Chain A
Amino acid sequence: MPSTLVIEDDVRIARLLLLELGRAGWETEWRSTGREGSQACASRAFDIVLLDLMLPDIDGIAVCHMIRQTTDSPLLMLTARDAITDRVKGLDAGADDYLVKPFAVTELLARMRALTRRRPVSPGDWLIVGRLRVSETRHEVWVQDSPVELTGREFSLLYYLMQNAGVVVTRDMILERVWGWGYGGSAAVVDVYVGYLRHKIDWHQAEVYLTTVRGVGYTLRIRG
C-alpha cells in the first residue's frame, strides 16, 4: 500500500484528505505543523508528501527546504495562494508539483499517481513509449520508421503524455504544463488537441493506446 504524509494545519481539509486518500488505497499519516511534518519525513520514507504552504509555525517554503534535506520523496504543495511567483517559489524550493485550493480529489489523486509513477525509458535525447519516440531538442516524432508532423502545441501535448505514460493526467495538469499560466479558455481545448493527435498519429502502428478516462483525463498505455 503506497504511503503518504499529509502536512496540513486545517483540520477540516486534513480530515477530507485522510478520508479520501484512505478510500483510494493510500496509507496516510497526518501532521499539523511544519516542524512535526519535517521530523516525520526524517524518521521514515513516504511515497509522497502533501504539504500545505501556509502552516502555523514555519512557512511552507522553509518546510519544503527542510524536507528536501532529508528525503527525495515526491512533494506536492497544496495552497490557497495562486500567484505565479508563489508557484515558482514552491517549485524552486524543491516541490515537484503545486495544486491550488479548492481542488477536486480526483485531480489530487491523479497528480499523486503521476508523481509516484515509474519514469519511461529515455536513452539519450529520445523519449520512447511503445514504438513511439520523440526528441524534444530536435522536435521530431517518429512512429517506427515514419516521421510525424505536429504543430508546437500538439508536440508539447504528446511529449507531456509520453512523460506520464501509464498514469492518467487530468485536463488541468495538461493545461498547466502545456498551455501555461495565462490561458483563458476552457479546458475543452485539451479534448480538441487530443482529437488532433488521434488523427495525426497511427496509434495502431505505435502500439500505444491514447485512452480517455471519463471525468478525469487522458492516459497513454502500451498495447499488450
Chain B
Amino acid sequence: MRARASLKVQLVRQIVVVITILLTSFSTLTLAAIAAHLYHDARRDTHTILNNLSSQHQEAVGEVIQAYNRPTDPRIWMLRHGHVIARSPNTQPMLRKNPYSGLLWRPAVYQLDAQVRRNQFVIDWPLGSDWALLQELSSVVLVVTLLGAAASLVVARWATRRTLGPVKAMTDGVQHMLNTGRMRPMPLPDGRDEFHDLAGLLNRLLSDLEERRQHDQALLADATHHLRTPLAVIRGNLDIVLRGDRTTGSLHDESVTALYRTLDDMARLIEDLLAMEHAAHLPHTLLIPMSLDGLVSEVVDDVRALTSDRPTLVLDASSPRHGLPSVAAYPAFARRALWAVMENALQYCAPDAGQVAVRVIEDPHSGFAGITVGNNGSGIAPEELPNVLSRFYRGETGRSLAAGSGLGLSLAQSLMRAQGGTIGIVSNASWTQVTLWFRSVGSHYEALHEKFPQ
C-alpha cells in the first residue's frame, strides 16, 4: 500500500521538481550556447592564422611561426611529405594528430589541419582558458540551481499553506461536526475564489440537511404520536373482542368494525405521510402540460357522485369562457392536492346548508393559473390561519368536527410545492377559500431555464 501523502506535500513536491527541472534545463542550455560560441570563436581565429600563414612567402612563414612562443599562443607545425619542417617554439616535438580537423582533449585544443600548396599546416588553438571558464560557469549555475530549488521549496510551502488553508479550515469544521454530531456553518474564506464558492455551497447543503433533519425529527414525532392513538384503539377493541363470552354480540360487532376502520385510518395516514415524503423528492423535470378544466370536472363529477346523499349541499363548479393556458403539473399529485382541498371544504362547510364553489382562475401577470375551492361555514380565525397548513393541525373548530388524518392541507401544500406551485388560503367569518396555484407551462420552462441555465 502506498503511503498517504497530504495534498500539501504533493503540491510542494511537484512545484519543487518542476522548478528544478526548469532551472536545470535553462542552465544546461545556457552553458551549451556559451560552449558553442567559444568553439566557433576558436575555429574562426585558427582559420585567421592559417590565412595569414598561407599569404606569406615561403621564407617569411618560418619567422611568423617563430613568433608564437608563449604557452597561451596557438601551436603551429609545418610539415612537408609527413615530416615536420618547422614548428613554433611553444610546441612539443611530438605532433598529436587528429585524422580530421576538430577538438582534441588533454589539453583541450581546436586542431586545424590544412594543406596549403606544398606545405601542410597543423594549428592547435588552446582551449584551456575557455574550458576553465565553462567549468567556473557550471559551478555558478549549479549553485544558482540549488539555491533556486531551495527557494522554490520555501515559496511552494508558503503558497500551498496559503492556498490550502481554507481546505484545512473546512476539514476541521467537518471533523468538529462529526465529533459533536451538530451541524454548524463553515467559515467563509476571504476573497471571492473557488474555495469561497465551495464553502458557500457546503453551507447551503448543511442548512438544507439541518432543515431536513429537523423536518424528519418533527415528522417522526408527529407520526409516532398519531400512530400510537389508533394502536391504542386497536388494542382496546381487541381486548373487547377477546372477552367475547362476557360481552353481547352487538358490542363484538362494533369492536370489529372499529378495528377495521382504525386499520383503514392508519393505512391512509401512512399513505399520506409517504405521499408527502415522495412529493419532497419529485424532480421538476417530470412535470407535464395539463388542463385544469379536465381535472376539475373529473374531481367534481366524483364528488357529486359521492355526495348525492347530501341534498342540502350546493356544489358549484365553473371555468372562465376563454381558454386557459395549460399548467405544468404531475397529474397524480394535482389530483391528490385537489381532493385534499375538496375534502377539507366538504368537511368544514355549513352542515345544514353547505356550499362549495370550485373555480378555475388565472393570474396572467404572475404566470400562474389556479383552482379555488371556497366553502361556507364558520371560517378560520385569523390567528389560526398561519397554522392550518401545518401537519396534523386541526384548529379549535376542526378538532370537534373533523375525522381525517389531519394531513389534508399540509399534504396539498407539499404536493403543490413539488410541482413548483403554491397554496393560498383566505378566510372570513362565513367563507373560506383555498387556492391551488400551478405554474403555467411557459413560466415553468422559464423557471427551469433560470435554475439550469444551459
Contact = CB atoms under 8 A, between A and B. Distances in A.
A192 B308 contact: yes
Interface residues of A, number: 21
Main secondary structure on B side of the interface with A: helix
Interface residues of B, number: 25
B267 interface: yes
Contact of B339 (A83, A183, A192): A183
Nearest to B346: A185
B301 A153 contact: yes
A182 B302 contact: no
Given A82-B274, A84-B278, A102-B267, A182 B333 contact: yes
A185 B335 contact: no
Given A153-B301, A192-B305, A192-B306, A182 B278 contact: no
A148 to B, nearest CB: 18
A11 interface: no
A118 to B, nearest CB: 32
Contacts of A179: 302
A28 B170 CA distance: 59
B267 A183 contact: no
B238 interface: no
Nearest to B266: A102
B274 A83 contact: yes
A183 B334 CA distance: 10
B3 interface: no
B399 to A, nearest CB: 21
B306 A184 contact: no
B306 A185 contact: yes
Given A102-B267, A184-B343, A193-B305, A84 B298 contact: no
Given A183-B302, A189-B305, A84 B332 contact: yes
A188 B271 CA distance: 19
Contacts of B278: 83-85
Nearest to B263: A102
B308 A182 contact: no
B340 A181 contact: no
A43 interface: no
10 contacts: A82-B274, A85-B278, A102-B267, A153-B298, A180-B332, A182-B334, A182-B339, A184-B336, A185-B303, A192-B308
Given A184-B342, A192-B305, 16 more contacts: A81-B274, A82-B271, A84-B332, A100-B271, A151-B301, A180-B331, A180-B332, A181-B332, A181-B335, A181-B336, A182-B332, A182-B334, A185-B303, A189-B305, A192-B306, A193-B305
